Structure formats: C-alpha cells, structure tokens
Structure 1
Amino acid sequence: MPLPTTSTTPTASRSPVGGLITLSAAQFLIALDFSVIFVALPDISSGLELSGSAMQWVVSAYSVFFAGFLIVGGRVGDRVGARKLFMAALVLFGIASLLGGIAANAALLLVARGAQGVAAACLQPSILALVNTTFPPGRERTRALAVWGTVGASGLAAGVVIGGLLTSLSWRWTFFVNLPFAVLCALAAPRFLPGRTERSRTNALNVLNAVLCTATVLVSVLGLTLAADTGWTDPLTLASFLAGAVLLVLFAVRERSSGQPLVDPVLRRTRSLLMGCGSSALYMASVAGVEFYLVTLLLQNGRSYTPLAAGIAFLPLAACITFGNMIAGKLVGVLGVRRCLTLAFAVGAAGLTLLGLSAHHHGYLVAMLPGMAVSGLGHGMIYTSMFVGGTRDVDDRNQGVAGALMTTTQYAGGALGVAALVLVLGTHPDDGTFRTAFLLAGAVAVIGAALAWIGFGPGTRTAAEQPEALAEPLPATATAGEC
C-alpha cells in the first residue's frame, strides 16, 4: 500500500532561484563530463599509449556505469533524501575527476571514469527529483524544467567546445574542470535546496532487487557497447545479451512477487512515464548521442579538424540547443506536450536529414551549419518537452525513480544507436556512409515524432497546459529563470 508522500516544500529562508541555479549547474556538470571527453580522446590515447579498445572504454565506462546504477540511485534518493544523495554524489564525482586528471595509466583512468558514472547515476535522479518537488506543478515547474533543460542540454554541446579548448592545454584539464562545479554545488546545496520537513516513510530499499536491476542494465549496456567495439556476433557480446535476458526475467519475477518492489507498480502503469521513457531512448538514438558521435567523427576524422577547431564548430549547435530549450518551456504551455514534442522530433529529423543530404560537401557553412542549427533547435525542444511530459503524472515520492527510468532508457538508446551506426560506418567511413548514418538517425527521430503524437494522445493535460494556468500572473521566482 503506498505510504504518505513526504513534503519537500522549501522553507521561506531558501531561494527557489538559488536552488534552480544549483541544480542546473550540477546538470551541466553531468552533461559536460559526458561530451567533454570526445575531442580529448586522441590526446588521451597518445599520452597514455592506449589501445583502440581501451580508448573506446574511456567513453563507455562512464556510460555503462551511469546507466547501470541509475534506477538504484533514484530509489536510494527517494529513500534517504534527494539532497543528501545530491551532496554525496558530488563528493564522489569530485574525487573521481581528480583521480582521472592525475591518472598515469589506463587502469586508473578507467576506474575513475567508472566512478564518475556511478556518481552521475546518483546525481541525475536526485537533481530531477529536487526540481520536481521544489516547484509546484503548473507554470512554475514547467518554467523550472525549461531552465534546467536549457542548461543541461547545452552542456552536451558546450562539453565539446570546452573539451577542444582544454585539450589544447592538456587532456588532464578535461577532468580537472569538473572540480569547481562539484565543490560549488556541494557547498550551495544546504543553503538553497530543500530538505525534508518530515521524516520519510517510504519503503526500505530491496537490496536483492537492486542488485538484479543494476546487473541487468550493466550487462545489457555492456553488450551494446561490445557490439559497437567487437561486433554483434562476438561470443562475449552474445553472452552479455543472454546474461542480460536471464537477469531481466529474474528481476521481473522478483518485482512482481515482492512486497517492496524497486519500481513502484504505479509507475509501470503510468502511461505518460512510459511514453517519456520511449521518447528519451529515441532522443538519444537520434539528435543527442548519435548526432554528437557522428558530427565529432566527421569533423575530426573525415574533415581533419583539430580538437580546438572541432570544438569551435560546435558553438552554433550549442546556441541552438539553448534556444530550443527556452522556447520549449513556452510552447508546452501553448501547444501541449503532444504537439510540442512531436514538432520537436520533426525539427530534429529535418536537421539530421539536411546533414545527411549535404555530407558530400566539405564546406562547413554550406554542408554542416544549416543541419546543425536545425537539429540543435529540435534537440533543445525535445529535452525539455519529454521530461515535462514524462514526469507530469508522477507523485513526489517516486520522482527519483521516474527520472532514473527516463535517463536509463536515454543512455541505453544512445548505446544502441551508436552500436548500429558502427555497422553502417564500417572501419573506413566515407561521405557515402556518413550520409546513410545521418539519414538513419533522422528516421529514428521520425519514429520519435510518431511515438509522441500517439503516446501523448488526447487525455488529461498537465497543469501547465490548462488555460487557467496560462492566465495566472508569473511568480517572481519564475521570471528570474526565463532568460
């Protein structure tokens, strides 16, 4: 039987604006750390004399452990308190970043990247839970999610830019850059973020289910990563998929029979959350993770850009992502989640199609800039809209797990998309294979548009979509985040 929801209303001494800035900065840190490593990889490889497989795992170690621990991180946050987990995760993130920056061999570097992934898996759901429980449903929460999404999604693009700048000094600075964010956010949390005003009475963590859940996601994402590295028919890849299927069955059986499931049964029946998870996977498999992977590869390998030049080339994409997030916060209130998310995926698909059709041109302004600008706009619109729609019907008690479920499917979708594109690109990609890869990513975005239109069909609208909500005067705290 569901237990009473814990109140997380901020006290009068805390500033919602300060809290939103703190949470947005932490989200920027997660996104930055995911993408900043891409342009630094060649320098890391030469500096530590990494093999091709070890270089690929510098990226994959973060993603695999991030995806693997997300749901457990969400439930732990719901159990012990999102603010406590937020602060603990930042400490771990800072330590892991320091270790990565001073690493003298591949083993320590990979351990540091894995620890960063675990820290991010605890940090991500606690951030989303704090956003959704600090701001009440309606215009305030939608505005807050738009600001949070603007900063977070732009962090993916900014990471590539910052990575290019820092790599020109030393690849180690791509790790050290995380330390100021981690320290400042951890120090700001007690002042600006709300704690619990009454003792939590959520169910205890089901340890066995948590282990099964983490193992299921870990080996499944590992299988997708190995598929991109060694091929879909490699024995280790097949063994990972088989182990993932067995663990999934065991986890499902345990969840159905347990009195303390890891994922509350009400979440499995929440249509908007399920559609949000599907949208999240398709977003990462098209305009987010896959596009970043393709554009980075095309610029540095196909067009011989230096890391700094590649970073600068991403600046228009970063700006358009930021703008897309800003307008999505307004469009959700006007069009509703269904129309806004469908439009966002369609815009993203158009941008990817432009990139594919112009892949045979080598001029940046003609061949890449238009497609990057359009897809970046769709990217930003999707990011905000899918989280507004996916978490709108989830109560405060389950916000951590709901956010974790969406982010888990997001990174699993990205891993699957990259694994599929490796097959398309082959070992020596040329203009023709890049064209096919971009068009394939565009087709995935079209599927996302169809899912958004069907999945968020006519039904109950969010508070932000209600006409009376639009007529309310804007709170002072919301207007501060509009820009």
Structure 2
Amino acid sequence: MTRPKSPAATLAVLSVAQFLIALDYSIIYIALPSIATELSLEPALAQWVISAYAVLFAGFLVVGGRLTDRLGAKRLFVAAIIGFGLASAAGGIAHDGTVLLAARGAQGLFAALLQPAVIGLIGTTFAAGPARSRALAVWGSVGASGLAAGAILGGVLTSASWRLTFLVNIPLTLLAALGAIIWIHTPSSPIASRVPLIASALGTATVLALVIGLTLGTDHPTAAAVSLVLAVALFATFVRNESRSRNALIERALRNTKSLKIGAAATALYMASVGSEFYVLTLLLQSQKAYTPLQAGLAFLPLAVLVTIGNTAAERSVRRYGSAVVLAAGFTIAAAGLLWLAVALEGSYAGSLLPGLLLSGFGHGIIYTCMFIIGTHDVRQEQQGTAGALLTTSQYLAGALTIAVLTLVLTDSPGPTEFRTAFLLTTAAAAAGALLALRRYLVVADDEVATDLLPDPQHLIEQERCPK
C-alpha cells in the first residue's frame, strides 16, 4: 500500500479535525442557557440543541465507517469536513429554534461521517504497533484536550455571543479541508463492494431509536418506552439480517476481534465516567455555585491542562508497560478524582474542587489515548474505519444513557446530595473501567505487553538477516 508522502502533516490535519469534533461536543453545554434565552426555547426543547447532534452522530457512525472503508477515507473526510463547516455557519446565523436544531442535526450527521474517516486515515497511514500507538497518542491528546477546551471556550465565547460557539468552527474546517487536499495522499482505490443498504438502514434506525428513547426518558416516558421497544425490535431484525446476509454491515471477522470488544467496553465506561464529568461540573458550577459562563469556563482550565499531560504520559507509558496496564491506571486515577469531587463538592474551588479536577483530568487523558490503541490494535487496515465507528458509537451511546440517568438523579433543582450521587455514579463507572482493563491484562498479559513493545516488523527481518 502506498503511504502518504507526509505522515506528520497527515496527523496534524487529522488532529485538527478531531479537535473540532471534540470541541463541538462540549462547547455547547455552557452556551445552552444563553441560546435558550435568546431564542425563547422551552427547557425540553433546549435540551434538543444537544440531543439533535448526539442522535444523528450516534445513529450514522457505523454507516460512516462502512462508507470510509468502501469509498475511501480521504474522499469522505474532505466532504464531511466541508459539510460540518456549512452546518456550523447555519447554526451561527440561526434566528429561530427550528433552524438551529436542523443545523445541530446536520453537524451530528457530518461528524458521524468525519470521525470514522479520521480513524481510518490513521489506520492506513501508520502501521500497527509503536508507530500507530504514537499517532493515536497524539491524536487522542488533541481530542481529549478538545473536550476540555470546549468547556473553556464555551464560557469565553458565550460571554460575547453564543453564536461564536458555532462560528469558531468555520476556520478550523477550512484549515482541515485544505490540509487534507494538500498533504493527505492515498491511492484512489475503486469501491470494493456495495454498501449494504438494508443492514445500514436497520443499524442506523436501531441506534436512532435507542438514543431518542434515552433522550426522551425524563420528559416523555411513554414516548421513550415506545422508542426503546422499537429499538429492541430493530436490533433483533438487524442481528438476523447480519447473520444471513452475504454483505454484512459489520463483517464477521470484525465482530470476532477481541481487542475491538475490549476497546468498545472501555469507550463506553470512559463516557460514563470522566466523559460525563463535564455535564455534572457545568451544572454544579452554574446552578449550585452561581458561576458566570466565563467563570465556569475558566474553572475547567486546570482540568484541560492535566488532560494534555495525561495524554503525554500515556503515550510514553504504553511503550513500557503495555496499553492494558496503563488503561487500568488511568481509570483508577480518574475514579480517585471523581470520588474526591463527590466528597468535597461543597467546599471552595481551590481547596476542594481543584484536586479532584487535577486527578480526574490526568486520568481522562490517559484513558482517551489507551482505549483507541487497544480497540484498533488487531483490526485489519481495510476495516479501520468501521472499527473506529464502532468504538465511537459505543462511546456516545454510553454518553446518552449516562446523561439520561444523571438527569434523573439531578432533578430540576439539584442540591449537594444529588450532585454527590451523580459523582459517585461516575466514580463507579471509572472503577468498572479499571477492572475491565485489569481483566484484559490478566487474561493476555504476556501477549499484550509483547505486542505493544514490538519494534517495526521490518526491523526484526533485518536483524534476522544480519545477526550481530
């Protein structure tokens, strides 16, 4: 396979795109109250500014992964990043709720096409082993930092105008699109096979029904129940079709890849723990402690810094100890930080909240890097796009479920008891992640560590030919 002429430039372009996806997920939380006030949105409708993105994003990820593998990652990347920029522009100039929700849904759809294209390009640019682990560490560092930076920028930009939280995406999309056209060089291979339309429709409808059911749970329990029952029925039909179809949406070899299963579980527990920390912290700071949007955004700054440090530490540690060990350490540190926040949330920021933010941020950075290294490790290059889509689907489905549960726990007027319970739930998810990673290590410890430490295969061949 012909490699891109500049892997470093390719990684830079992909990191910009990943920063954009992560930024857009978290930047909207602090801006939401201002959006609801200016556009006169009822609370139930305002929540759909977040949910419209999440529903379309989660629903079309697997289809985006299959299109990446079949049509070409670069082609889909350029189209998706341009579409994302146009949707962001529409959201930034929206003057009523309908247009804004449509723009958010379009952002989610194009992000669903963009995310697997990004992971697919990493998989085809960097060989499995140390090279890909280093690339994923850099990419993961940018992505995790984007989640934290979104909260900070959300506060800074909202203090001027919430519209800037949409318009800030435009220069980033232009930069990524131009960079892809100039620097990413991949062979223009023909479509290997048709995209399975029936399986795609069933898979997408299943995820849409599930996410909608979870989102509606608090305000419309009857509609939520109907959506969840429909999701179960659609899933059963999807599984039946996958087992019989000659052109499955998720190929059998991919379904049987153990590292992908572990990675999907890790991404789910990541989102149920530190991934949902932003939601609880935003509510705590603004509703309980009466922070302004700018103050709340700046309060996330130490967490953002530690996320980046955690990413850097993870990249170095994986090469020495193996990804499963480092992932377990990340989840353990994150659990300690979240537990600290649960215990000390009523104190001052510097004396009580800050230590928890530093610990959870450091663990966050480690987890984000390791879960994708594990999840994509044993996946063939031609399936990297679909594998990345499955990992991200697991991540955001878990996010939708967790937010639904946390919304029930926090109620309309949460107090210290409700916030403490919410943080304890995220702590439990992080502890479960540590146990998952330890199980992975104990079952395949020797193989895992050896694989992560292997040098490039060509180097081994040369050593074989030219022994000292």
Q: Give unmatched runs, 5+ long, in structure 1.
A: 1-6, 474-483
Q: CA deviation at 1:201?
A: 5.5
Amino acid at match of 1:259: R
> Is the aligned partner of 1:253 residue 2:240?
yes
Whether the 8 Å CA contact 1:8–1:195 is kept in 2: the answer is yes
Q: Which residue of 2 aligns with 1:385?
A: 370
Post-superposition offset of 1:467: 5.3
How far apart in 1 are the matches of 2:375 and 2:292? 39
**Local SS of the residue matching 2:47:** helix
1:353 aligns with 2:339: yes
**How far 1:330 sits from its partner (Å)?**
1.0
Match of 1:9 among 3, 17, 28: 3
Among 385, 394, 399, the alignment partner of 1:409 is 394
Instruction: Report the AA paired with residue 274 of structure 1.
Output: K
AA aligned to 1:145 is L
Instruction: Specify the code of the residue in structure 1 equivalent to 2:138.
Output: V
The correspondence for 1:46, drawn from 29, 32, 37, is 37
> 1:64-463 residue pairs with structure 2 within 5 A?
64-196=55-187, 199-200=189-190, 202-227=192-217, 229-230=218-219, 234-288=221-275, 290-361=276-347, 363-456=348-441, 457-458=443-444, 460-461=447-448
Residues 286, 442 of structure 1: 8 Å contact kept = yes
**Contact 1:8/1:134 (8 A) holds in 2:** no
Correspondence for 1:476: none
Give 1:462 shift. Answer: 6.9
Unaligned runs of 5+ in 2: 461-468
CA distance in 2, matches of 1:352, 1:309: 21
RMSD: 1.6
1:265 maps to amino acid:
R
2-side partners of 1:461 and 1:412: how far apart?
28
Match of 1:205, SS state, is: coil
1:248 and 1:119 mapped to 2: Cα distance?
24
Contact residue 14 and residue 139 of structure 2 kept, 8 A? yes
CA shift for structure 1 position 15: 1.5
Change (3 A) 1:403 1:467: closer
Q: Which amino acid aligns with 1:303?
A: K
Amino acid in structure 1 at the alignment position of 2:349:
Y
Instruction: For 1:84, give the aligned amino acid.
Output: R
Q: Say which SS state the counterpart of residue 322 (structure 2) adopts.
A: helix
Give the residue type in structure 2 aligned to 1:316: P
Letter of the 1:72 partner, please give it.
Answer: V
Supply the distance in 2 between the matched residues of 1:403 and 1:443 (Cα, whole angstroms). 26
* Preserved CA contact (<8 Å) 1:137 1:464: no
The Cα of 1:360 is off from its aligned counterpart by: 2.3
Distance 2:418 2:172 in 1: 39
| Corresponding position of 1:466 | 453
Superimposed CA distance per residue, residues 377-427 of structure 1 (whole angstroms, 9 cap, x where no aligned partner): 110100100100010000011100000000000001111111111222122
**Alignment partners' CA distance in 2, 1:237 and 1:420:** 13
**Change over 3 Å in CA distance of 1:327–1:469 after alignment to 2:** farther
Residues 139 and 464, structure 1, Cα contact 8 Å, conserved in 2: no
The answer for the alignment partner of 2:466 in structure 1 is none
Partners of 1:200 and 1:389 lie apart in 2 by 30
Separation in structure 2 between the aligned mates of residue 349 and residue 8 of structure 1, nearest angstrom: 43
> 3-state SS of the aligned residue for 2:28?
coil
Question: Residues 268-323 of structure 1, C-alpha deviation per residue, up to 9 Å, x if partnerless?
Answer: 111110010011001001111x1010000000111000001111000001001111
The separation in 1 between residues aligned to 2:284 and 2:93, in whole angstroms, is 30
- Residue 70 of structure 1 contacts residue 125 of structure 1 at CA under 8 Å; is this kept in 2? yes
| 1:478 corresponding residue in structure 2 | none
TM superposition shift of 1:338: 1.5
Identity level (%) = 48
Aligned-pair distance for 1:463? 7.0
The alignment partner of 1:435 has SS state of helix
Q: What CA distance in whole angstroms lies between the structure 2 residues aligned with 1:179 and 1:360?
A: 39
CA deviation string 1:208-254 (max 9, x = no partner) = 11011100001101111111x416xx110000000000100111111
Q: Distance in 2 between matches of 1:386 and 1:74?
A: 18
Contact 2:271 2:396 in 1 (8 A): yes
Q: CA deviation at 1:16?
A: 1.2
Deviation at 1:109, TM superposition (A): 0.2
More helix by share: 2
Aligned residue for 2:186, secondary structure, equals: coil
CA distance in 1, matches of 2:426, 2:104: 27
Deviation at 1:133, TM superposition (A): 1.2
CA deviation string 1:148-179 (max 9, x = no partner): 00001100010111111111111111100000
Secondary structure in 1 matching 2:274? coil
* Alignment-mate amino acid for residue 108 of structure 1: V
Asked whether the 8 Å contact 1:79–1:205 carries over to 2, the reply is yes
DSSP-derived class of the 2:378 partner: coil
TM-score by length of 2: 0.95
CA distance in structure 2 between the partners assigned to 1:337 and 1:258 by the alignment: 35
2:130 and 2:453 in contact (8 A); partners too: no
Give the corresponding residue for 1:477.
none
Tell me, in whole angstroms, the C-alpha distance in 1 between the residues paired with 2:78 and 2:89.
17
Q: Deviations over 1:17-41 (max 9, x none)?
A: 1111100000000011111111111
